[in-house]
Structure 1
Amino acid sequence: MSLLRAIQLGLLRLRGRPAVLVDHAQRLAARGDHRRAMELLARAAQAGSSAACFELGRAYLFGRSAPACPAVAMRWLAEAARGGEIEAQFMVASLALQGVAEAGPGTLFELASHVPSGIPDYQAAQHWAEIAAAAGHAPSQALLGFILTSGPQALRDVRRGEACYRLAADAGCAHGQLGWSLALLRQDPVANGIEAQRLLAQAARANMPVAHYMLGVLAGAASVAAGSADASAEHYRAGAQLGHGPSQLAYGLALLRGHGVEPDAFLGECWIRRAALCGEVQAEAALGELYGQSGALPPNHAEAMLWFGRAAASGHTGAARALARLHLRGEAVGADRREARHLLRVAAAQGDAAACEEFAAIVLADAGSRESGIPPGDTREDWRVILDRFRDMAAQGDPAAAYNAGLCYAAGLGMEADQAQALVWFRLAADRLPIAQYSCGRMLAEGRGVAQDLPAARRYLLQASDQGLPDAEALAAEMLLNGRGGPTDPATAKALFRHAAEAGHLGALYALGMLALGFYDQPEDLEAAGTFLRKAAASGHPGALAALSYSRTASVQEGRNPDAIDRSRRMEHAGAKVPAAGRRREVFVIAS
């Protein structure tokens, strides 16, 4: 064999090697000859080249030399990962987190009409990230840090995840710098603030929008603490220009409010709208609020209903409440009271305490209205939903929900009234709510739902009085004055009456007027008696009106000698005891 022929055969054998085929394919692709490039990559992959599988996966993933198809890309990348390609292992882990599954067998040039959408496979992602991270691949270390700190609870190992973030950050990986900076802020934002900001600045230089956003948050907090102008707008702007929804929202709000930037309502609305159009739920709610009230832009209730509706459909309970209010006020075309009830009902079922309160209020109003058009059966069912939600919230430690559940039982809303159960729920709320303490005291004093217990009633009422609740002060004062549930204490009773009267409590004003007439052996002060009784009577208190009709009170009004009036007649009118405060109108409350 001639030397020339031997060289030709050697070159042919070399050309058939997978590494040479991959190299040749890359040169062909660079020149735009994608068909021949894919043919060579296919030959190399069939010959067992992991590098060829990796290039095929990249081609299908990015649509560079073949139609984009993540599922097919995943199949080739997984083959490359199994062959030890570290970059492929990282890409497989990333795609698994995005819910991309490996496609089944098919032809080389598969066509995909859509991108498959699935559930993130955290276990597969962790498997491949672990392998690549162990080889020192910094992006895989950062990805593993994310899985271990933010993945499913069963996979979490926060300490190890933070260590992975730190390794990636030390290697200069921007994702690692971001993850480690957030970990430092979680650990101790004061002590670690400077280092965290340094890492965030490095990540921001790599055009990571979340890093820009966090720098904006930190700058805003520092500005508030220093009492200076907000310096965060520039960071938010950088993140917004990179397409980060929360940054777009934050920058839009800064423009609306003039925080760190010249106010520009039109440009601010544009940035918020961009975020909303990309599905940022908070931005949708912000647009609804922007158009739902007078402010930087003229109100537009149609726009407000549109954006509140989109946010509510995504589970934003505040937007659902705002949209319900627009329906109830009839401030836009298509206002619908039934729709308002539906929105509040859904928001209440999602755990929104304010929505549950507002839903209860509207159902209560509709129950007493013939014009609501809501069938009684619907109202009863709504009350059952409300009560279930109140009980669930109370079980999670919400005292206002426990109190509201007690009101449902006491008033028989959606069920037969059950005073004993009402007292149980009131007692659950009494540790933290003065109004619940008052309700317990009143029920125990009246013997509703349980045998009368005056000492316990007095204790509850005095607890509520310490918090300044006028109804409790008036009733506690009556018990102290008459010695119910314990010894008499006229001085404390008078002080409680006076404090309740200052808050406008009519029963307390009446009681002070009668005491000033000399009842209960109190010093007579006719001028004060007339003042208290006239104030109570002006607001319609029946006892004060009756008292003023007697000649005794007439003499008070005219300044005549009160001794001219027979004391027994005064006692006959007033009775042996100072009347307690009138019944308090019960309302649903929300803890502040």
Structure 2
Amino acid sequence: MTWWHGEPEAAVAWPAVPMPRAPEPFPDESSEDDLLGAAQAGDTGAAHRLGRLYALRGDRSAARHWWERSAGAGNIDSSYNLGIWHEKHGSPDEAITWYEVAAGAGDAEAAVNLATLLLEQRGDVRGARHWFETAAGAGSRPAARRLALLCEDVGDGAAARDWHHRAASAGDLASAHDLAFMSYAAGEEGQARGWWEHAARGGHADAAYYLGRLLHADRDPEGAETLYRLAAKVDHPAASSQLGRLALARRDLRTARAWFERAAHFGRVEDQRMAGFVCVELEDPGAASHWFGRAAASGDPESAYNFGLLLIAEHNDLRGGQHWFRQAAMHGHHGAALELGTLRSVIGGPAPDPAPWNADQAVPMWDRPVEPELIARAELAVAAAGRRGGAMLRLTDLTEILGTWDLLTRRLREPVDVAVWLTEKSGLHAGAVEHLASVRATLLRPGTAPWPAPGEIEHVLATSRQLRKRLGLS
């Protein structure tokens, strides 16, 4: 099985200069005179081959001359080659003209290249869609995929699913992966699982990872681990992170450290922080300082706080600790704000600014543990909603929303209308609590409503924080 990291670039990024089709055998040098004589006598096949011979030598002008003579007499391969020639040499309008000739005669590759140029050079969505459909109808798998993506971009979801299905059924793993996401967003988890499995078996690392997240969301961590390992074989950083968390849950600290550090090397701040925590547990303060320091430099307040603690505990560096506590407190870290007050009484210095790290005014940080299946649902929602220029949601926000509801309701024993109960207990407006309940339901049961917009998430986050504060759980 061949594995690679993520989706093959060629599946989504359309090359500015397409590769020409596989050539027919070239005549050797000694046949040039015969070809020239035949071409001058009107043999279009000889003119085409002569053009290719000159192209191989690097004589671009001669190649173009003979292809134009051959194409003018109806040779489709020469028309296609002229399209490639003009595209390579910065003449897109001429390339479009020759691709139109070849595509109009039924050449599927020319139709794909023509559609690509119409879209990229002229923004002609209708023309591009027509030629992609022409090529896809002739059996071109790349055309079916590009047509599916084009349909997604213009909001034609039904057509997009149909073309992704055609491409995926013909072996396009990237379309199988996309089809899985579209199925998940529609609430069709069985379909999503099937397409992710299909793509993962073929070697699509992202598909293996997200199938693992779906299994994790369905409370099957053992099955998820198998998929994460497949994705991690090609250094999928998120898969390495999940393997670290599973090892940590088993208290296998050395394995957890190896996986977190593997993910952390990709610059993932959350994994740098987790690597720091595990190194503390393993009594390796030097490594812990390294990882906390890297994450703190990227703006992570929890890492800044812990880096400050280590600087003071291991090196008696009070000034350094104060600096990182200040960075953490500026982002609302309550523990860092308390440590700053203690340090000021020890080393002196000016009074802190009046508000930036006031715990009553700062945005409360969510630092409570959340069930792994809820985090998996939040991550699937982020990935599904953000496809093809969709809503850019933050995993931390969705995790806080789901975690807040779970925290506030997990001790309820009798069947109750939870939204009504929370409204009565908190005194918040019923509409705000119902909105929170609705967004939560969408995250946990996709397909019941469109994915929430970022503005909705802001409102629901505010409600979540007010609920925690009023119920004494901030």
TM-score, normalised on structure 1? 0.45
Distance 1:200 1:400 in 2: 48
Check the 8 A contact 2:176/2:199 in 1, yes or no: yes
Q: Secondary structure of 1:206's match?
A: helix
Deviation per CA, 1:287-312, whole angstroms, max 9, x where unpaired? 22232331xxxx44333222211212
Q: Which amino acid is 1:279 matched to?
A: G
Spell out, residue by residue over 1:189-216, the C-alpha distance to the aligned partner (whole angstroms, 9 max, x if none): xxxxxx4354245334323144134235
CA pair 87-454 structure 1, distance change in 2 beyond 3 A: farther
Q: Distance in 1 between matches of 2:175 and 2:85?
A: 25
SS at match of 1:417: coil
CA distance in structure 2 between the aligned counterparts of 1:485 and 1:143, rounded to whole angstroms: 78
Distance 1:280 1:455, change over 3 A: same
Correspondence for 1:361: 245
Structure-2 residue corresponding to 1:214: 116
2:356 is aligned with 1:496 = yes
Query: Is 2:345 aligned against 1:475?
Result: no
CA distance in 2, matches of 1:308, 1:327: 11
Q: Mark the CA change 1:328 to 1:478 in structure 2 (over 3 Å): closer, same or farther.
A: closer
Partner of residue 226, structure 2:
342
* Distance in 2, Cα, partners of 1:164 & 1:401: 55
Matched, 1:428 2:294: yes
Distance 1:310 1:356 in 2: 22
Instruction: State how far apart, in whole Å, the 2-side matches of 1:277 and 1:363 are.
Output: 37
What is the CA deviation profile of residues 446-500 of structure 1, one whole-angstrom value per residue up to 9, with x for unaligned ones? x1xx3221111122233445xx5211x75256425752685433341x4233266
Q: Does 1:271 align with 2:155?
A: no
| Partner deviation per Cα, 1:38-68 (whole Å, 9 max, x = no partner) | xxxxxxxxxxxxxxxxxxxxxxxxxxxxxxx
Which one has more relative contact order, counting CA pairs under 8 Å at least 6 apart?
Answer: 2
Instruction: Read off the aligned partner of 1:178 and give its amino acid letter.
Output: I
For the pair shown, which has the larger CA radius of gyration, 1 or 2? Answer: 1
- 1:202 has 2:98 as partner: yes
- Distance in 1 between residues matched to 2:34 and 2:304, nearest whole Å: 65
Q: Which moved more, 1:169-178 or 1:232-241?
A: 169-178
- C-alpha change, 1:502 and 1:405, in structure 2 (3 Å) is closer
Residues 143 and 176 of structure 1, relative CA distance in 2, 3 Å threshold: farther
Distance 2:168 2:53 in 1: 32
CA contact (8 A) 1:291 1:301 kept: yes
Task: State the partner residue of 2:174.
Answer: 282
Residues 142 and 175, structure 1, Cα contact 8 Å, conserved in 2: no
Change (3 A) 1:474 1:410: closer
Q: Percentage identity across aligned positions?
A: 19
Alpha carbons 2:151, 2:157 under 8 Å: kept? yes
Deviates most, 235-244 or 498-507? 498-507
Alpha-carbon RMSD across the aligned residues, in angstroms, is 4.4
| Equivalence for 1:452 | 316
Q: 1:177 aligns with which of 83, 90, 107?
A: 83
Q: Is the 8 A contact 1:169 1:177 kept in 2?
A: no
Query: Structure 2: which amino acid aligns with 1:329?
Result: A
Shift in CA distance, 407/203, structure 1 to aligned 2, threshold 3 Å = farther
1:264–1:380 CA distance, 2 compared to 1 (3 A): closer
CA distance in 2, matches of 1:143, 1:214: 26
Does the aligned pair in 2 maintain the 1:139–1:168 contact within 8 Å? yes
Q: Partner of 2:238: helix, strand, or coil?
A: helix
Q: Post-superposition shift, 1:356?
A: 2.7
1:209 touches 1:239 (CA, 8 Å); kept in 2? Answer: yes
Q: How far off its partner does 1:442 sit?
A: 2.7
Tell me the amino acid that sits aligned with residue 438 of structure 1: Y
**Aligned amino acid, residue 197 of structure 2:** G
Number of the residue aligned with 2:396: none
Q: CA deviation at 1:350?
A: 1.9
Gap runs ≥5 in structure 1: 1-69, 89-131, 145-162, 185-194, 224-228, 369-378, 508-538, 540-592
Deviation at 1:268, TM superposition (A): 3.9
Q: State the alpha-carbon separation in 1 of the partners of residues 112 and 140 from structure 2.
A: 7
Q: Distance in 2 between matches of 1:283 and 1:250?
A: 9
The 5 Å alignment of 1:250-269 reads 250-255=146-151, 259=155, 263=156, 265=158, 267-269=159-161
Q: In structure 1, what is the equivalent of residue 465 of structure 2?
A: none
Task: Structure 2: state its 5+ residue gaps.
Answer: 1-21, 36-45, 69-77, 104-109, 368-407, 409-474
Code of the aligned partner of 2:299 = L
Residues 474 and 500 in structure 1, CA contact (< 8 A), matched pair in contact too? no
Say whether residues 1:248 and 2:144 are aligned partners: yes
- Count of residues in correspondence between the two structures: 318
Superposed structure 1 runs of 4+ greater than 6 Å apart: 85-88, 141-144, 163-167
2:18 match: none
Alignment TM-score, normalising by the size of structure 2? 0.54
1:409–1:417 contact (8 Å) kept in structure 2: yes
1:127-142 correspondence to structure 2 within 5 Å: 137-139=50-52
Structure 1: distance between partners of 2:240 and 2:34: 51
- The residue identity in structure 1 corresponding to 2:210 is A
- The verdict on how the C-alpha distance between 1:214 and 1:417 changes in structure 2, with shifts beyond 3 A counting, is farther
1:421/1:268 Cα in 2 relative to 1: closer, same or farther (>3 Å)?
closer
Asked if the contact 1:165/1:176 (under 8 Å) is kept, the reply is no
How far off its partner does 1:235 sit? 4.0
One-letter identity of the residue aligned with 1:252: A
8 A contact 1:479–1:485 mirrored in 2: no
Letter in 2 for 1:317: A
Contact 1:209/1:244 (CA < 8 Å) preserved in 2? no
SS at match of 2:203: coil
Does the aligned pair in 1 maintain the 2:331–2:362 contact within 8 Å? no
Q: Whole-Å Cα distance in 2 between the matches of residues 180 and 233 of structure 1?
A: 22
